[in-house]
Amino acid sequence: MSKFQFPPSIISRPVYGTLEARAGKQHLMIADAEGAEALLDLAAPELMARSHIIFISRGTDYAERLKALSPQQFYEGPTYAASVSRIRRVLQDAHMGLQVYLAGTEGLMGQAQNEAMQAGIPHTAIQTEHRGSTARRMQCVHCKGITEDVAIDPFQCAHCGLNLFVRDHYSRRLAAYQGVCIDAEDPGNVPAAKGIYE
Protein backbone atom coordinates (compact mmCIF):
# COMPACT_ATOMS: atom_id res chain seq x y z
CA MET A 1 0.00 0.00 0.00
CA SER A 2 1.43 3.37 -0.94
CA LYS A 3 -0.46 5.41 1.69
CA PHE A 4 1.15 6.00 5.07
CA GLN A 5 -0.49 7.31 8.23
CA PHE A 6 1.94 9.85 9.68
CA PRO A 7 2.06 9.98 13.48
CA PRO A 8 1.02 13.20 15.25
CA SER A 9 3.81 15.77 15.37
CA ILE A 10 4.64 19.44 15.82
CA ILE A 11 2.66 22.20 14.14
CA SER A 12 5.24 23.01 11.43
CA ARG A 13 5.09 19.46 10.04
CA PRO A 14 2.96 19.29 6.86
CA VAL A 15 -0.39 17.52 6.95
CA TYR A 16 -1.58 15.80 3.78
CA GLY A 17 -5.11 15.11 2.65
CA THR A 18 -6.77 13.33 -0.24
CA LEU A 19 -6.99 15.00 -3.64
CA GLU A 20 -10.48 16.11 -4.69
CA ALA A 21 -11.55 17.55 -8.03
CA ARG A 22 -12.29 21.28 -7.80
CA ALA A 23 -14.02 23.58 -10.25
CA GLY A 24 -11.56 25.43 -12.48
CA LYS A 25 -10.62 26.16 -16.07
CA GLN A 26 -7.06 24.86 -15.62
CA HIS A 27 -5.69 22.04 -13.48
CA LEU A 28 -1.98 21.49 -12.82
CA MET A 29 -1.19 18.03 -11.47
CA ILE A 30 2.34 17.25 -10.35
CA ALA A 31 3.25 13.79 -9.10
CA ASP A 32 6.18 11.48 -8.63
CA ALA A 33 6.38 7.68 -8.37
CA GLU A 34 3.35 6.28 -6.49
CA GLY A 35 1.80 9.75 -6.50
CA ALA A 36 0.45 8.67 -9.88
CA GLU A 37 -2.01 6.47 -7.99
CA ALA A 38 -3.63 9.56 -6.46
CA LEU A 39 -4.04 11.11 -9.93
CA LEU A 40 -5.51 7.85 -11.26
CA ASP A 41 -8.00 7.84 -8.35
CA LEU A 42 -8.94 11.47 -9.09
CA ALA A 43 -9.24 11.11 -12.87
CA ALA A 44 -12.46 11.90 -14.73
CA PRO A 45 -12.65 12.69 -18.48
CA GLU A 46 -13.95 16.27 -18.02
CA LEU A 47 -11.20 17.01 -15.47
CA MET A 48 -8.43 15.47 -17.59
CA ALA A 49 -9.49 17.49 -20.64
CA ARG A 50 -8.35 20.64 -18.76
CA SER A 51 -5.36 19.14 -16.95
CA HIS A 52 -1.61 19.46 -17.39
CA ILE A 53 0.14 16.50 -15.76
CA ILE A 54 3.82 16.71 -14.87
CA PHE A 55 5.08 13.31 -13.77
CA ILE A 56 8.47 12.26 -12.42
CA SER A 57 8.52 8.46 -12.67
CA ARG A 58 11.41 7.68 -10.28
CA GLY A 59 11.71 4.20 -11.77
CA THR A 60 7.99 3.35 -11.68
CA ASP A 61 5.85 2.39 -14.67
CA TYR A 62 2.80 4.65 -14.22
CA ALA A 63 3.47 6.97 -17.18
CA GLU A 64 1.49 5.00 -19.75
CA ARG A 65 -1.51 4.75 -17.42
CA LEU A 66 -1.42 8.51 -16.88
CA LYS A 67 -1.15 9.16 -20.62
CA ALA A 68 -4.17 6.89 -21.15
CA LEU A 69 -6.25 9.36 -19.10
CA SER A 70 -5.94 11.75 -22.11
CA PRO A 71 -4.88 14.86 -20.22
CA GLN A 72 -4.75 18.13 -22.15
CA GLN A 73 -0.95 18.06 -21.70
CA PHE A 74 1.40 15.43 -20.32
CA TYR A 75 5.09 15.71 -19.49
CA GLU A 76 7.31 13.02 -18.03
CA GLY A 77 10.55 14.20 -16.50
CA PRO A 78 13.45 12.12 -15.20
CA THR A 79 13.89 14.21 -12.01
CA TYR A 80 12.32 17.13 -10.23
CA ALA A 81 15.31 19.31 -11.16
CA ALA A 82 14.79 18.49 -14.84
CA SER A 83 11.07 19.31 -14.56
CA VAL A 84 11.19 22.52 -12.54
CA SER A 85 11.59 24.83 -15.54
CA ARG A 86 8.38 23.40 -17.02
CA ILE A 87 6.57 23.79 -13.68
CA ARG A 88 7.67 27.42 -13.49
CA ARG A 89 6.52 28.08 -17.05
CA VAL A 90 3.08 26.56 -16.45
CA LEU A 91 2.68 28.65 -13.28
CA GLN A 92 3.91 31.78 -15.09
CA ASP A 93 1.36 31.31 -17.90
CA ALA A 94 -1.51 30.34 -15.58
CA HIS A 95 -4.69 32.36 -15.24
CA MET A 96 -6.77 33.11 -12.17
CA GLY A 97 -8.48 29.99 -10.87
CA LEU A 98 -5.71 27.48 -11.60
CA GLN A 99 -6.18 24.42 -9.42
CA VAL A 100 -2.96 22.77 -8.20
CA TYR A 101 -2.78 19.12 -7.15
CA LEU A 102 0.43 17.57 -5.76
CA ALA A 103 0.87 13.88 -5.03
CA GLY A 104 3.74 11.58 -4.13
CA THR A 105 6.76 12.04 -1.92
CA GLU A 106 7.19 14.84 0.59
CA GLY A 107 10.26 16.12 -1.26
CA LEU A 108 8.34 16.59 -4.51
CA MET A 109 5.28 18.12 -2.88
CA GLY A 110 7.31 20.54 -0.79
CA GLN A 111 9.38 21.79 -3.72
CA ALA A 112 6.40 22.06 -6.08
CA GLN A 113 4.34 23.82 -3.41
CA ASN A 114 7.19 26.28 -2.95
CA GLU A 115 7.16 27.07 -6.69
CA ALA A 116 3.38 27.56 -6.67
CA MET A 117 3.63 29.87 -3.65
CA GLN A 118 6.31 31.94 -5.38
CA ALA A 119 3.89 32.27 -8.29
CA GLY A 120 1.31 33.78 -5.92
CA ILE A 121 -0.81 30.76 -5.01
CA PRO A 122 -1.39 30.52 -1.25
CA HIS A 123 -0.27 27.21 0.27
CA THR A 124 -3.77 26.70 1.68
CA ALA A 125 -5.16 26.56 -1.88
CA ILE A 126 -2.80 23.78 -2.98
CA GLN A 127 -4.02 20.21 -2.52
CA THR A 128 -1.54 17.54 -1.45
CA GLU A 129 -1.72 13.77 -1.02
CA HIS A 130 1.19 11.70 0.18
CA ARG A 131 1.83 8.42 -1.62
CA GLY A 132 4.90 6.21 -1.60
CA SER A 133 8.22 6.70 0.14
CA THR A 134 8.41 8.35 3.56
CA ALA A 135 12.05 9.39 3.03
CA ARG A 136 12.64 13.05 3.79
CA ARG A 137 14.38 15.95 2.14
CA MET A 138 16.72 17.22 4.88
CA GLN A 139 18.69 20.42 5.37
CA CYS A 140 21.76 20.40 7.60
CA VAL A 141 21.37 23.48 9.80
CA HIS A 142 25.16 23.69 10.09
CA CYS A 143 26.37 23.71 6.47
CA LYS A 144 22.94 24.41 4.85
CA GLY A 145 23.38 21.47 2.44
CA ILE A 146 20.30 19.53 1.30
CA THR A 147 20.30 15.72 1.37
CA GLU A 148 17.48 14.01 -0.53
CA ASP A 149 15.67 10.78 0.41
CA VAL A 150 16.79 10.43 4.03
CA ALA A 151 15.11 7.34 5.50
CA ILE A 152 17.15 6.78 8.67
CA ASP A 153 17.76 8.66 11.91
CA PRO A 154 20.45 9.73 12.63
CA PHE A 155 22.05 10.15 9.22
CA GLN A 156 25.32 11.56 7.96
CA CYS A 157 25.13 14.88 6.08
CA ALA A 158 26.14 14.31 2.46
CA HIS A 159 27.85 17.72 2.43
CA CYS A 160 29.75 18.22 5.68
CA GLY A 161 29.72 14.71 7.15
CA LEU A 162 28.13 15.63 10.50
CA ASN A 163 25.87 13.07 12.16
CA LEU A 164 22.42 14.64 12.15
CA PHE A 165 19.29 14.08 14.21
CA VAL A 166 16.21 14.00 11.96
CA ARG A 167 13.81 16.57 13.39
CA ASP A 168 10.12 17.04 12.56
CA HIS A 169 10.70 20.79 12.16
CA TYR A 170 9.83 21.64 8.56
CA SER A 171 10.72 24.75 6.57
CA ARG A 172 8.13 25.53 3.90
CA ARG A 173 10.53 28.07 2.40
CA LEU A 174 13.23 25.42 1.90
CA ALA A 175 10.81 22.51 1.38
CA ALA A 176 12.96 20.51 3.77
CA TYR A 177 13.11 19.15 7.29
CA GLN A 178 15.91 20.33 9.55
CA GLY A 179 18.76 18.12 10.76
CA VAL A 180 20.87 19.04 13.81
CA CYS A 181 24.22 17.58 14.89
CA ILE A 182 23.47 14.73 17.27
CA ASP A 183 26.93 14.40 18.85
CA ALA A 184 27.99 18.05 19.17
CA GLU A 185 28.53 17.83 22.94
CA ASP A 186 29.89 14.27 22.94
CA PRO A 187 31.69 13.66 19.61
CA GLY A 188 31.43 10.10 18.40
CA ASN A 189 28.50 9.21 20.67
CA VAL A 190 26.02 8.45 17.90
CA PRO A 191 23.13 6.04 18.46
CA ALA A 192 22.54 3.24 15.96
CA ALA A 193 20.56 4.38 12.94
CA LYS A 194 16.96 3.19 12.57
CA GLY A 195 14.11 3.95 10.21
CA ILE A 196 12.55 7.37 10.78
CA TYR A 197 9.13 5.89 11.57
CA GLU A 198 10.27 2.81 13.52
For each of the domains in the chain, give its residue range(s) and CATH number, in order of start. 27-130 (3.40.50.80), 136-195 (no CATH)
Q: What is the pLDDT of residue 39?
A: 98
Rounded to whole angstroms, what are the CA distances from 103 to 76, 77, 78, 167? 15, 15, 16, 23
In the chain, which ranges are continuous DSSP H helix? 35-42, 45-48, 63-67, 80-93, 106-118
Left, alpha or beta for 102 (phi > 0: left; psi -120 to 50: alpha)? beta
Cα 185 to Cα 29: distance, rounded to the nearest angstrom: 45
The widest CA-to-CA distance across the chain, in whole angstroms, is 60
Give me the pLDDT at residue 1, please. Answer: 45
Give the closest residue to 55 by CA, choosing from 70, 42, 67, 41.
67
Looking at residue 198, its pLDDT comes to 86
- 88-2-65-61 Cα dihedral, nearest 10 degrees: 90
**Reported pTM:** 0.93
Distance between CA 117 and CA 163 in Å, rounded? 32
Low-confidence ranges of the chain (pLDDT < 70): 1
Residue 24 has a pLDDT of: 92
pLDDT for residue 16: 95
What sign does the CA torsion over 9, 13, 18, 22 have?
Answer: positive
